[in-house]
Amino acid sequence: MVPRLSPAWRASAALCLAAVATPPVAAQSARAQGVPAQRARLVSGVPLAGSETEERLRLAAALDSIRAPGTASSETAARWMFRSPSMLLRALEPPAPSASHRRVTLQLLAPELRTVHNSDIPHSLGDGTLWAGRGTSTLVTAGLALRVGPVRLALAPQHTTSANTRFQVIPYVQGITPARSVWANPFLGAPLSIDLPFRFGNQRLTRTVPGQSALAVDLPGATLSVGTEQLTWGPGVRNQLLLGGNAEGFPHATLTTRQGLRTPVGRLHAQWLVGRLQESAFFDSAPDNDFRALGGALLQLTPRGDSAFTVGLARLVMSSQDGPAPRLGSAFRVFAPVGRPGAPGTSREQVTALFARWLVAPVGAEVYVEWARFAEPASLRDLLEYPGHSQGYTVGVLWARPLRGGALQLNAEATQLEQDASGRVRDAGVSYTSRVIPQGWTHRGKVLGAAIGPGSSSQWVSADWYGGRLRLGAYAARIRWNNDVLWTPVVPQPKLEDITLLSGVRASATVGRTRVLLDYARGARLAYLYQARPADFARGTNVGVDFLNQTFSVTLVTHAGR
């Protein structure tokens, strides 16, 4: 059943529909989108991580490989290994007829309105600023982009509301050490800790944040940028291991190569990062640990003579800090050793990832893999003896083909963040948690990397048909939640795995200058939070405390006229 519209939803809808009457923004090049010119106007708005705008851009890249194999540039390949809304907006710009015509431009960013309704329990994966708790939640993104010569400014604030309706949670026990909010995660308190509340308080949530805003300056060979927009590292579609679209953007500065560096073996792209992470309001009451410093570096190589294949290395280092100002020094300690997790004197955490992407032309298939290790190996022998220790990985394939006046896209992706067999002989911990930094790899209560969260695994398959003004699709997924804590004493007997089985359908259509995306999913949450009840006392069998959750979302995006 379609949820009743809240006042915030009605006001946001009015804003989005009013934008339909605004003058169209600059037409976008068909070549940049990889689609025929008459369909170019269907890609617009702020290309948020995981949005349909980003999905269409990725589809266009696959179709381009079929039409013109071997013509992809290293810049195009780099786009899907490290990206942000401002970088994708720049890729959408039409080619300038001359430098004088593009010195000063002002562009209104098409407003996007997204509302999500969960019937029984929260389902919020890859939602960024939005917390899609139980009930109706809304996210509005709008703004403008200004370019003055080498300076680019994107102002795209976001406003979010969440009914945050009551649902069953297991509270964090009060009066114990460490002291935490009643909403904090009771399964990961100590010694492995993370700021990952099950519920963001018991009140209605309303926030307005800078969102996808960034200021960039083009320097010789590189771009210096500061902002709060989301950064995505890695080729994954749904679960990037280091940085993705699950958490909202954090304040940061980046230095990114534009054309890459030419080397004897190929073209090298790089991005340097320094940022500041913040604790959520539902973790603890200690004011001296609310902020953390984050430094990172990403290197990506496109081999000479093969622009369809890319391989890269990325590393993030997190450390605590005393105040809200970012520690610029953390950017220069990215490759310095941090020591074994929890060892005496250790005050930092790291995660290192290897990734690769291969665009198989003219098949139109994209194969990608990302592998990460959360614990730094003590030596080369340690690495060779326990190569899978504290590892996580994402593997996937995306295949596209022109079909019946449109294009068919298939996607399959699997993510594994559960402990491997080395956990039998040495403690591997739980991914994204920390022994020395209580908040772990999170920002404002959400995991920076994979949306499924610590110690989890998932499998996803989807099929979508894209036409000129229509999209039809279906998907299915399985998620096993934080299985690494299942066999610890914090989960009482009897022990059952917490699993979600999800299936859904989605469709979008363009009406006038507005694209409407509808998504409906049914999710069976089995043994919710590892809870079980006796089924047959004589046989000693148990069944889980299960929920059937229905998720319905509507997204409205205005698009540019031709």
User: So what's the pLDDT on residue 36?
Assistant: 35
Confidence of residue 76 (pLDDT cuts 50, 70, 90): low
pLDDT, averaged across the chain: 84
| pLDDT given at position 493 | 82
Say whether pLDDT at 262 is over 80.
yes
* Mutual angle of helices 85-92 and 52-67, in 10-degree steps: 50
What is the span of the domain harbouring residue 476? 7-558
Is residue 504 one of the residues assigned to a domain? yes
Per-residue b/e over 438-462, b at no fewer than 16 CB within 10 Å? bbbbbbbbbbbbbbbbbbbbbebeb
Residues 258-270 as b/e (b if ≥16 CB within 10 A, e otherwise) read eebeeeeebbbbb
Asked if the model's pLDDT at residue 199 lies above 90, the reply is yes
Average pLDDT over residues 325-340: 75
416 belongs to a structural domain = yes
Distance CA 14, CA 3 (A): 17
Contact (Cβ atoms closer than 8 angstroms) between residue 462 and residue 507: no
Q: What is the 3-state secondary structure (H, E, C) of 413-458?
A: EEEECCCCHHHHCCCCCCCCCECCCCCCCEECCEECCCCCCCCCEE
- Which is nearest to 62 in space by CA: 76, 50, 49? 76
Residues 21, 15: contact at Cβ < 8 Å? no
Structural domain tally of the chain?
1
Max avg pLDDT among 370-379, 408-417, 485-494: 408-417
Q: What is the CATH number of the domain that holds 391?
A: 2.40.160.130
Provide the pLDDT confidence category of residue 232 given band limits of 50, 70 and 90: very high
With a CB cutoff of 8 Å and minimum separation 6, the contacts of 385 are none
What is the mean pLDDT of the segment spanning 281-301? 92
Model confidence at 74: pLDDT above 90: no
Contact between 429 and 194 (Cβ < 8 Å): no
The answer on pLDDT for 18 being more than 60 is no
Looking at the domain assignment, is residue 1 inside a domain?
A: no
| % of the chain at pLDDT higher than 90 | 53
Asked whether residue 482 carries a pLDDT value surpassing 60, the answer given is: yes
Averaged pLDDT, 349-363:
89
Q: Indicate whether 524 belongs to any domain.
A: yes
pLDDT of 11 over the 50 cut: no
Give 293 or 343, the one with higher predicted confidence.
293
pLDDT at 41: 34
Question: How buried is 472 (Cβ within 10 angstroms: 0-12 exposed, 13-18 middle, 19+ buried)?
Answer: middle
Identify whether 215 is part of a domain. yes
Is the residue at 2 inside a domain?
no
Which of the four pLDDT bands, split at 50, 70 and 90, describes residue 416? Answer: very high
Q: Is the pLDDT assigned to residue 309 strictly greater than 80?
A: yes
pLDDT band at 2 (very low <50, low <70, confident <90, very high): very low
**Cα distance between residue 42 and residue 185, in whole Å:** 42
pLDDT for res 15 = 39
Closest Cα partner for 140 from 11, 286, 4?
Answer: 11
Residue at token pair 């979010």: 160
Residue 537's pLDDT is what?
A: 72
* Phi, psi angle pair for 308, to nearest 5°: -90, -10
258 within some domain: yes
Three-class SS of 78-90: HHCCEECHHHHHH
Instruction: Decide which of 528 and 363 is more confident.
Output: 528
**What is the per-residue pLDDT for 331?**
67
* List of residues 6+ apart from 509 with CB closer than 8 A: 469, 470, 471, 515, 516
Query: What amino acid occupies position 112?
Result: E
Whether residue 216 has pLDDT greater than 70: yes
| Overall average pLDDT of the 320-324 stretch | 72
Tokens of 192: 């492995």
- For residues 284 and 438, the answer to whether their CB atoms sit within 8 Å is yes
Q: Where are the beta strands (DSSP E) in 91-194?
A: 104-118, 135-148, 151-155, 158-162
What's the confidence (pLDDT) of residue 80? 78
Phi, psi of 366 (to 5 degrees): -120, 120
Q: What is the pLDDT of residue 133?
A: 93
pLDDT digits (tens, 9 = 90+) for 159-179: 999 999 999 999 999 988 889
- Mean pLDDT over 55-62 rounds to 82
| Residue 35 clears pLDDT 60, i.e. is over it | no
User: How is residue 357 written in tokens?
Assistant: 């992407």
Lowest model confidence (mean pLDDT) among 375-379, 422-426, 442-446: 422-426
Contact 117, 3 (CB under 8 A): yes
pLDDT surpassing 80 at residue 21: no
DSSP string, 486-513: TTSTTSPSSP---EEEEEEEEEEEEETT
Q: What is the pTM of this model?
A: 0.87
Measured CA to CA, the distance from residue 311 to residue 331 in angstroms comes to 22
Cα gap 104→91, rounded to integer Å: 17
pLDDT band at residue 238 under the 50/70/90 scheme = very high
For residues 48 and 79, which has the higher predicted lDDT (pLDDT)? 48
Give dist(CA 326, CA 295) in Å, integer: 10
Would you place residue 205 in the very low, low, confident or very high pLDDT band (cuts 50, 70, 90)?
Answer: very high
pLDDT given at position 337:
84
Structure tokens, 543? 């069944």
| Mean pLDDT score, 450-460 | 96
170-199 mean pLDDT: 92
The lowest-confidence range among 43-52, 328-337, 451-460 is 43-52
The whole-angstrom separation of Cα 453 and Cα 437 is 17
Among candidate residues 128, 150, 149, the one with its CA nearest the CA of residue 139: 128
Instruction: Look at residue 173 and tell me if it is in a domain.
Output: yes
More confident residue, 383 or 41: 383
Q: What is the pLDDT of residue 325?
A: 66
Ordered DSSP codes for 220-262: TTEEEEEE----EESS-SS--SSB-SSSPP--EEEEEESS-EE
> Of 9-13, 324-328, 350-354, 533-537, which gets the smallest average pLDDT?
9-13
Q: Which residue has the higher pLDDT, 268 or 335?
A: 268
pLDDT higher at 303 or 332: 303
- Whether residue 71 is predicted with pLDDT greater than 80 in this model: the reply is no
Residues 6+ apart with CB under 8 A from 137: 115, 116, 117, 118, 124, 130, 131, 160, 161, 162, 163
The rounded distance, in Å, linking the Cα atoms of 35 and 405 is: 12
